[in-house]
Amino acid sequence: MTQDSISSAIAELTELLGDRLSTGTSIREIHGRDEAHSKPALPDAVVFPENTQEVSAIMKICSAHKVPVVPFGIGTSLEGHVIPIKGGISVDTSRMNKVLEIHESDLDAVVQPGVTRTQLNEELRATGLMFTVDPGADATLGGMAATRASGTNSVRYGTMRENVLALEVVLPDGTVINTGSRARKSAAGYDLTHLFVGSEGTLGIITELTVRLYGQPDSILSATCAFETVDDAVNTVIMAIQMGIPMARIELLDEVQMKGMNNFNPDLNLPEKPHLFLEFHGTEAGVKEQVELFEGISEEFGVSGFDWATKLEDRNRLWQARHNAYYAGKSLRKGCEGVVTDCCVPISALADCIARTKELIDEAGLIAPIVGHVGDGNFHLLILFDPEDPSDLARAMDLAAQVNHVALSFGGTVTGEHGVGTGKKKYMPDEHGAAYALMATLKRSVDPLNIMNPGKTVDIN
C-alpha cells in the first residue's frame, strides 16, 4: 500500500459514504485499540456502512487499490484482532444493527452484524426465547462470530460455533456469498459457515447472521459455593459432568480472584477461598433434581455450603459480579495494568493444568487471579503488572507464554475463546503443525491480495 493508493481509496470511499467516513484522530484512536494490553495502531480512515451493498462497494474500492481492511464491531476483543497494524480502512459495522427476522417456531433469528447480544435478547423478551452465548462484554454478534466467542453458558448451550446456522459474507473482492441455511443440518458441500466463524476478519466481512435460539427455562436457580482447594472445586465439576447433570453455568474463581471480588463488590462478602458460581435451568422439578445431585457430589469434595440466589435481581447481581471479574482482579494491585490470557484443556486435565499454572505464577512473583468456564475446561489469567516497569511487563508476558505451552502439553489449546489475533499467532505452528500451513493456503485462496485484516492469525507471502 502506498500513500497514493490510500488517498485514492479514501477519495472514492468519501464519494460513496459522505460523512460516514472519518479521518478524525479521535475516531481513528477508538478504532486503533481493543480491550487488552495490545500496542495500538491507527487506521487511515474509518467507514460506517449501513447495509451489505455498501460493504461490498467498500471492499471493491479497497481491493482495487490494495488497501488493507479491518472489520470492527465494538472493540471488546482481547488479542489485538481489530488493531489495524498495517493501516488502511477500519470498517465499523455498528450501524448495521437491525434484527431482521425472528422465527419463533424454528427457534432462530436473522440479524445484522452490529446487533449486540443484549439488544437481541431485549427483542426476544416477549417471545419466550433467548440467545445464549454470553462472553461477558456486550459484544456485537458479528464480532462474536468472527472470534468464535463463548462464555458462561457454553457448557450447556454451546459457543458461537454451535449457534451460528448461516452467514452472509462479503469477500475481499466485494463478492457477496451466503453460507448455510436455516435448516438444522445439511450434507451439501463444504461447511463454509464454520470456515468464517472464527476467521477473525481475515477472510471476509460478516454482514448477516442466522443464529440459534432457545426457550427461556421455567425455573432458574443460581448459587455460589466454596471449597478448600481448586482441585476440590474442579473435581466436583468433573464428576457432575460425568454424571450428566445439565449445568447451565459452572464458573471457577480461585482464592486470589475472590479477594478481588470482595474488594470490587463490597456487598458480595464471600469467603476468600476457591469458589464455583453455578446456575441450573429447567422445570421446577428438574432444577430441584439437578441441585440435589450436585449438592451430593460437592459434599464428597468438602464443599463449605451454598449461597442460593432465586430472585432475578440476586441472580443478576451475582453474574454481573462475575462479568466484572477483570475489574475486580485489577483492584488487587493499585495502578496496575493486566495481561489477559486464556487457554483450554480437556476437563480431566484441568486440575493439573491449573495447579501447574499456579506454580508458575508463584515462581514469577506476580499476582494473577484465575477465573474459568470450568465446565468446558477453559480458564483465564489476569496477569497484573506495573505499566511503568518494563521488566514487570516482560515477566508478565513470559508467564503468559509459559501457560500457553503448559496448555499444549496437556493436549489443549492456547485459546479457548479469546482467539488468535496477533497475541497468540506465534503459538499456532506448535498447536496445529502441518494444518497451520493449510490455513495459509485457504487464506491465500480467498484473499490473494492479503488485504483482509493482514498480519492476524496466519501470514501469507
Tens digits of residue pLDDT in 72-86? 999 999 899 999 999
Cell numbers of 196, please? 468464517
Q: Please give the model's pTM, rounded to 2 decimal places.
A: 0.94
- Please state, for a pLDDT cut of 90, what percent of the chain lies above it: 90
Tens digits of residue pLDDT in 407-425? 999 999 999 999 999 999 9
**Distance between alpha carbon 82 and the CA centroid of its chain, in Å?**
13
Choose among 81, 83, 145: nearest CA to 117: 145
Q: How far is CA 255 from CA 25, 41, 166, 305, 370, in A?
A: 43, 37, 41, 16, 8
d(CA 136, CA 151) in angstroms, rounded, equals 7
Q: Which residues, in sequence order, are bridge partners of residue 101? A: 110
115, 98 Cβ separation under 8 angstroms: yes
Tens digits of residue pLDDT in 193-247? 999 999 999 999 999 999 999 999 999 999 999 999 999 999 999 999 999 999 9
Q: So what's the pLDDT on residue 275?
A: 97
Q: Which residues, in sequence order, are bridge partners of residue 276? A: 225, 252
Q: So what's the pLDDT on residue 39?
A: 87
Residue 188 in this model has a pLDDT that exceeds 80: yes
Q: So what's the pLDDT on residue 305?
A: 82
Q: So what's the pLDDT on residue 269?
A: 87
169, 112 Cβ separation under 8 angstroms: no
Neighbours of 226 (CB within 10 A): 22
Tens digits of residue pLDDT in 55-64? 999 999 999 9
Taking phi over 0 as left and psi of -120 to 50 as alpha, with beta for the rest, 300 belongs to alpha
pLDDT band of 136, cuts 50, 70, 90: confident
List domains and CATH numbers for the chain: 3-94 (3.30.43.10), 99-215 (3.30.465.10), 219-327 (3.30.70.2190), 333-419 (3.30.70.2740)
Higher pLDDT residue, 36 or 435? 435
